[in-house]
Chain A
Amino acid sequence: MSDKLILKKDHLTTFLRKLSKEYQLVVPLKNCHGDTLFTVIEDLDSQPPDLVNQPQNSLKEFMLPQQEVLFTYKNSPGDYSFSPATVKPPPTIFFGVRPCDLSAVLYMDVIFLQGRTDPHYLQKRENSVLIGLNCNTSFADCFCNATRHGPFLEYGSDLQFTDLGDRFLVEAGRSRGEEIVRKWGYFFAVAAKEDRARKYQVFLEARGGFARMVHVDQAIKRLREKKVDDSVWHELSLRCQDCGGCAYLCPTCTCFTIIDRPVDNVRGERLRSWDACTFAGFTNMAGGHNPVNAATDAIRQRFMHKLCYDVKDHGRPSCVGCGRCVGICFGGTDIIRFINMACEGI
């Protein structure tokens, strides 16, 4: 990351207000029920961003919406036509994105932009500026230190913030971030040597402050060596209650299904909708045969994908360690439980 700058915390709202004049602004916000969610912010004065709690959703909801219209169709006598979906996302700044969620976007870039480009994703990604916020303290279920996606982000954001108490240390990562720093330069001062030292100090404290010890490396190794016993899959699959919550909340689960939805007798739309590999229908064949036995292997694909196939293909697990699936899982089949079971007896 390039130059290190300082933004006073007192000036954050003013800074965001300036940004909001040119961009749609998405930040973690606490709603009236006490839940923190990444939300399009309407009114900066009455609702400051919630930078204390972990947002329950991730940026996946914006980059790959739960349901997204791909195109609409018309099928009337003499007129069988398709038209692309016309919704164009406004330029958007995502502020307060934690390293796990930011890493997840980088992972989605690999899925949707390398090789064949997904135009729907590209459109949203091109229009977005990501402002990251490093984690000084971990949340209850986090283990990004073990998946090597945090607690501080090394690269990938447009601007990266680090909380230093009364100020943020700001680093511009990519050209869009540099543009912002240039344009609103009067908000920033050059960071002093102590500020940089302080950042390193905070990083060391953050790295040591995780509540959970999760042996991701060991699990990856045992999966690679095929040393995870079948009974582990069986027990977890039996317990899995098939709700799909883990995949829906996971910032890197990008599998979707295609649905055609008629609007009336003539028109309709094709949309894609989140799916989950733990669902039996996910692998069901047209003839009714299912190569995956739901009762014994329902969740094998999920953990193999995260901790084995993606390590092989991209060098890193696609579990970013955000811990959301741990909080949502009510069958007790979350990834931490799996890792613990896989590592048992080492």
Chain B
Amino acid sequence: MAGLATTFGSGAMTNSINEIENAEVILATGSNTTEAHPQVARRMLAAVDRGAKLIVIDPRRIRLAEFAHIHLDIRPGTDIPLLNAMMRIIIDQNLVDDLFIDMRTENYHQLRDMLYRIDLEETAKTTGVPLERIKEAARVYARARKAVICYCLGITQHISGTRNVQSLANLAMLTGNVEKEDTGVDPLRGQNNVQGACDMGALPNVFPGYQSVGNLDFREKFEAAWQVRLPEKTGLTLMEMTHCGAEGLIRGMFIMGENPMLSDPVLSKVEDTLANLEFLAVSDIFLTETAKFAHVVFPAASFAEKTGTFTNSERRVQMVRRAIDPVGHCRTDADIIMGISERMGYPMGHESPVEIMEEIAMLTPIYGGMHHDRLESGWGLQWPCWDRGHPGTPFLHKYYFTRGRGRFIAAEHDPPSELPDKEYPFLLITGRTYHHYHTGTMTRKCSLHNRECGEALLQINGGDAGRLGVRGGDILRVTSRRGVIRITAEISDVVKPGMIYTSFHFSESPINALCIDTWDPLANCPEYKVCAVKIEQGEVA
């Protein structure tokens, strides 16, 4: 979010998902697309069928890498050196789009000066990828007329997450690969409505539509509409809240549809926080690990029981309609919020989702033309959609960047905060599997999903496994400086020697108990992707 917002001015996919199919080059980095975004992966495969070149940057040999023309299997956390090397090669080989840089961007000299200082051989060594292959990737990307970069949490969940994204933006601007159809930088969102949640101001520093809390004009606008005084200070980020500890500033929390007791790093710290709150209310469709700490639990309605909109990765706002009435005593999210608000002395009085959408359209310029009657037919609308007559925006930054000029922000290598050493010799990467969704609140209730994938498996390279005497199916004890878990081994060539990989869906093997609690200082996104662990055979004592 912060990465693209600072460079382009808008933290969302610049393209539509369909456009990926027409790209000439696709650079997929930090994205296990076939497992996490199959509908995006299908477009990538379709593009490859049509002759597009696919470059995959991922430490693991993921399934998408099988289709890649170039697979750059970097050491985890060396994205910036890799991208810097690519950019330096592009400058050296004169594949830079000078006109684009002149007309549309600023601060180029900072990037160029930094790139001239780097030593290519040295940088390639840092990434673990042969320089020749980096050169090839750089040439292929830079020469394309239409190139798309797709990235996901493998880029952002590092202490250098924001700068990783900025480096991708640099690469795109350097070669003029923005502003056009089928060309751009696309963060793939992990949930059906995470884009919508951000759009609606579920961030500590902005009102709906990314209107800054610090800006007096915006504040006055919302104060007038809502008839309340609004705080001038920005709020706290997730990690500041769930890791604030027993003596933290926070006394009460209301958690909706989130399960930090499984999803946040260093679960012991989260537990410490939640257990010591004076009051905790949790709203979810099933009783989660987090809800077990709650004083009050609200049974929330599922997607099939409510009417409203979801905003997907490509900024597309689509209707969801109530198919069945809420089961039992469940209530919709809006109902729960308005009910609480009313009892706290602020009746909102919205009678229907249509009315709420009308308020959104009135106060949120990018949603200005989004009304239920327009969204009901067809496939929804993509923001920005300024007014009722606006057809929506399939791709961003045509003619000018949202922030005016695209800004180059140079970044240098910032190694992960904890790398393997003698005591903890393995590098742990975490991610997701195809069959489960996030903390499994829903998917783990489904028997077929559990049959397909019923437990967390720790991918370990055959060489390492042989050395440790580990066989597939063995129970392992994985320990980091922060915790220990029990997990089943799976021998796999997807991971390289020295690396292990697993998912965080399973409360029986809560991998986030091991993850490190350092985070990107700009976006406060935790470093889930790299930490050091050791492996032993046998049960946890």
Contacts and interface: CB of A to CB of B under 8 A. Distances in A.
Interface stretch (A44-52, A70-78, A100-108, A236-244): A236-244
B448 A257 contact: yes
Given A330-B42, A331-B42, A331-B45, A241 B451 contact: no
A239 B66 CA distance: 10
A280 interface: yes
A259 B447 contact: yes
A238 B42 contact: no
Interface in A286-309: 288, 295
B452 interface: yes
Interface in B428-474: 434, 447-448, 451-452, 473
Given A241-B34, A241-B41, A284 B66 contact: no
A257 B451 CA distance: 10
Interface string A261-278: 100000000000101000
Contacts of A243: 38
Contact-residue bracket for chain A = 10 to 19
Nearest to B434: A242
Contacts of A241: 34, 38, 41-42
Interface string A225-251: 000000000000011011100000000
B39 interface: yes
Contacts of B67: 238
Contacts of A288: 473
Nearest to B66: A238
Interface in B5-49: 34, 38-39, 41-42, 45-46, 49
B38 A281 contact: no
Given A241-B34, A242-B434, A332 B49 contact: yes
Contacts of A279: 448, 451-452
Interface residues of B, number: 17
Given A241-B38, A243-B38, A330-B39, A281 B45 contact: no
A281 B42 contact: no
Given A241-B38, A241-B41, A281 B49 contact: no
Contacts of A238: 63, 66-67
Q: Which of B41, B45, B434 has the most CB of A within 10 A?
A: B45
A273 B448 contact: yes
B443 to A, nearest CB: 14
B448 A239 contact: no
Contact of B42 (A257, A273, A295, A332): A332
Contacts of A332: 42, 45-46, 49
Nearest to A274: B448
B128 to A, nearest CB: 25
Contacts of B434: 242
Contacts of B46: 332
Interface in B471-508: 473
A264 to B, nearest CB: 13
B470 to A, nearest CB: 15
A318 B67 CA distance: 32
A239 B41 CA distance: 10
A284 B45 contact: no
Contacts of B39: 330
Given A238-B63, A242-B434, A288-B473, A281 B41 contact: no
Interface string B143-180: 00000000000000000000000000000000000000
Nearest to A239: B45
B444 to A, nearest CB: 14
Contacts of B447: 259, 261, 273
Nearest to A234: B66
A295 B473 CA distance: 18
Contacts of B42: 241, 330-332
Nearest to B435: A242
A24 to B, nearest CB: 22
A32 B397 CA distance: 36
B448 A280 contact: no
A284 B473 contact: no
A281 B63 contact: no
Contacts of A275: 448
20 contacts: A238-B66, A238-B67, A241-B34, A241-B42, A242-B434, A243-B38, A257-B448, A257-B451, A261-B447, A273-B447, A273-B448, A279-B452, A280-B452, A288-B473, A330-B42, A331-B38, A331-B42, A331-B45, A332-B45, A332-B49
Given A242-B434, A332-B49, 20 more contacts: A238-B63, A239-B45, A241-B38, A241-B41, A243-B38, A257-B448, A259-B447, A261-B447, A275-B448, A279-B452, A280-B452, A281-B451, A288-B473, A330-B38, A330-B39, A330-B42, A331-B38, A331-B42, A332-B42, A332-B46
Interface of A: 238-239, 241-243, 257, 259, 261, 273, 275, 279-281, 284, 288, 295, 330-332
Interface of B: 34, 38-39, 41-42, 45-46, 49, 63, 66-67, 434, 447-448, 451-452, 473
The 8 residue pairs across chains A and B that have the minimum distance between CB atoms: A281-B451, A330-B42, A281-B452, A241-B38, A259-B447, A288-B473, A238-B66, A279-B452
